[in-house]
Amino acid sequence: MEQQRKTALITGSAKGLGKMTALLLADQGLDIIVNYVNSKQEAEELCGRIRQKGVKCEAIQANVARGEDRERLVDEAVRRFGSIDILINNAGPFIRERRLFRDYKTQEILDLMQGNLLGVMHLDHLVIPMMRNKQWGRIIHFGFGHAAEARGWPHRAVYAAAKVGLVSFTKTLAVEEAASGITVNMICPGDIVGDNKERTIREVEHIHDDESPRGRPGTGEDIARVIRFLCEERSDFITGNIMDISGGLDPIRAITGNGTAKKP
């Protein structure tokens, strides 16, 4: 009897790190659910590439910062694939502009907390029962470098608070669900920007990066290959971990006395 393929839901996966993760997991024979908010064309093109690998792939539009969208996303995924075996919470709003906490608008604070903490908890809550039913599951959260240390991050107060809260939740959920065959881990990418999010290691290994202790820029493949490993059948003894994949770079830049960053 042929073993049923597992299904992975990757939020925010039409582009960037989520896209690279979808491609690598498809190479492992997993069926893929691509989630997007506005990038419909990119999501459909990615699904086409993934189907050529011989697995199933569907794109579902949903904004994971909205509760009703999260419920619809999971309902639609289950309707099309039967269940969700792997949940990768890649999506999360981020305000790149450096801004003091007092300058945030109330709605921005709420959106950042919803997208980076409460929404992740809600999605986990929705998929855990089906993972428990199979006695197998993989949940991946995303953080930032050194998130486990709960350091202050000037100009990123709300985002950092959400992710640091997610650190504690990751560790708690890992313990609670270990007996059900569910692992829960957090990936903390380094400063991977622009086109490098969709590049392979081979494409950048000869490029020098002055800021990176490793000496080269990070890529989407650096992140995706760790996620792929955590999703393997035999990775069931790895849970509750907060993993920095940063090439040794500390993402929290030095701050001057007047509260401004030394670097833009």
Segment 217-246 shows an average pLDDT of 97
- Residue 250 has what pLDDT? 85
Per-residue pLDDT reduced to its tens digit, 109-155: 999 999 999 999 999 999 999 999 999 999 999 999 999 999 889 99
pLDDT at 210: 87
Which pLDDT score is estimated for 61?
Answer: 98
pTM, 2 dp: 0.93
pLDDT digits (tens, 9 = 90+) for 24-63: 999 999 999 999 999 999 999 999 999 999 999 999 999 9
Percent with pLDDT over 70 in the chain: 94
Residues 6+ apart with CB under 8 A from 163: 116, 117, 142, 143, 144, 147
Mean pLDDT over 5-23 rounds to: 97
Tell me what the mean pLDDT of segment 191-219 comes to.
Answer: 92
Query: What is the rounded CA–CA span in Å between residue 62 and residue 77?
Result: 11
What confidence score (pLDDT) does residue 256 get? 42
CA 103 to chain centre: 27
pLDDT at 1 over 60: no
Neighbours of 175 (CB within 10 A): 11
Of residues 121, 126, 40, the one with CA closest to residue 83: 126
Give the pLDDT confidence of 148-175 residue by residue, as tens digits.
999 889 999 999 999 999 999 999 999 9
- The total number of residues shown for the chain amounts to 264
Mean pLDDT, the chain, whole residue set = 93
Would the pLDDT of 264 be above 50? no
Q: Is the separation of the CB atoms in 39 and 15 below 8 Å?
A: yes
Question: What pLDDT, on the 0 to 100 scale, is given for residue 3?
Answer: 60
Assess whether pLDDT exceeds 50 at residue 255. Answer: no
Which of 149, 190, 191 lies closest to 168, judged by CA? Answer: 149
Asked whether residue 259 carries a pLDDT value surpassing 80, the answer given is: no
Query: Can you tell me the distance from the alpha carbon of 8 to that of 84, in angstroms, rounded to the nearest whole number?
Result: 6
Mean pLDDT of 77-87: 97
Q: Which CATH superfamily is domain 7-245 in?
A: NAD(P)-binding Rossmann-like Domain (3.40.50.720)
**Per-residue CA distances from 61 to 48, 56, 65 (Å):** 16, 17, 12
Q: Is the per-residue pLDDT at 104 higher than 50?
A: yes
Domain boundaries, the chain: 7-245
Task: Of 237, 243, 244, 235, give the one whose Cα is nearest residue 6.
Answer: 235
Three-class DSSP labels, 136-180: CEEEEEECCCCHHHCCCCCCCHHHHHHHHHHHHHHHHHHHHHHHH
